[in-house]
Amino acid sequence: MVIPSIDLEGGRAVKRVRGRRGEYVFVGDPLELARRFSQAPLIHVVDLDGAERGAPANLDVVAAISDAVGGRCQVGGGLRDPASVSRALDLCDYAVLGTLPFTEPRLFDEMAKSFPGRLVVSLDVSEGWVMGGGWTARLLRLEDALRLLEGRDLAAAIYTSIDVEGTGVGPLVADVEALRRVAKRIYYAGGVSSCAHLELLKRAGFDGVIVGYALYRGDLSCVGEGFTY
């Protein structure tokens, strides 16, 4: 399936290039986009301001998106404690965590036990390393990260290839079977801009592909009703 992505900055929907603040394209009103994608089985929402501040910053917009899609969303950005995760899960079906599982493993263990089957971990990967610090710092090797995530009853794991994220140059495919040790559903994000890219990722075994700008531009003619391809 294709999972439309809505990235929020200052209450607006934007698309950043390789995650860099100030290097973005304004893509529209987030609520209008949510209505446009209302038939999708899942919407991926990123609170960019929240990620940078360390606390959710666009919950009112997330709430409006959730209402438009019947709660079929996963939201991340600034979810650093159980209270913020709980608020996110009041709005969306799933909460997305980034570096917290690796920087605060004990806290993550508590969260995984408190919210079984409702947490998604996003792995931002560059050259085999899981990255943090705004994608500037190497945290640990991917294989070590996967070992830490095993047995946590995660809803899904997202593999984001940050070297191509936001560029549309094509995906950098990962070993899906290794990723499947930590979650039943594995999603890919980064560099997707054509139906050929979607087909490549489908053959590789990914359960879903998170796409933003290519959907906004109408580049994915193969995506049908229900956001299948």
7 among known catalytic residues: yes
User: Residues 79, 54: contact at Cβ < 8 Å?
Assistant: no
Given this model, what pLDDT does residue 165 score?
83
124 among known catalytic residues: yes
% of the chain at pLDDT higher than 70: 96
Using one digit for the tens of pLDDT, what is the confidence trace for 98-142? 999 999 999 999 999 999 999 999 999 999 999 987 788 899 999
User: Residues 203, 196: contact at Cβ < 8 Å?
Assistant: no
Tokens representing 97 are 């965590």
Using one digit for the tens of pLDDT, what is the confidence trace for 8-64? 999 999 987 655 555 567 888 999 999 999 999 999 999 999 999 999 999 999 999
Do the bridges between strand 94-97 and strand 129-132 make them parallel or antiparallel, or are there none, so unpaired? unpaired
- What domains does the chain contain, in order, with CATH numbers? 2-227 (3.20.20.70)
Among residues 49, 93, 124, 207, the one annotated as catalytic is 124
Q: What would the DSSP string read from start to end of 94-105?
A: EEEE-SHHHHSH
Q: What would the DSSP string read from start to end of 83-147?
A: HHHHHHHHHSSEEEE-SHHHHSHHHHHHHHHHSTT-EEEEEEEETTEEEETTTTEEEEEHHHHHH
Among residues 7, 49, 93, 207, the one annotated as catalytic is 7
Cβ-proximal residues to 218 (8 Å cutoff; 6+ apart), any chain: none
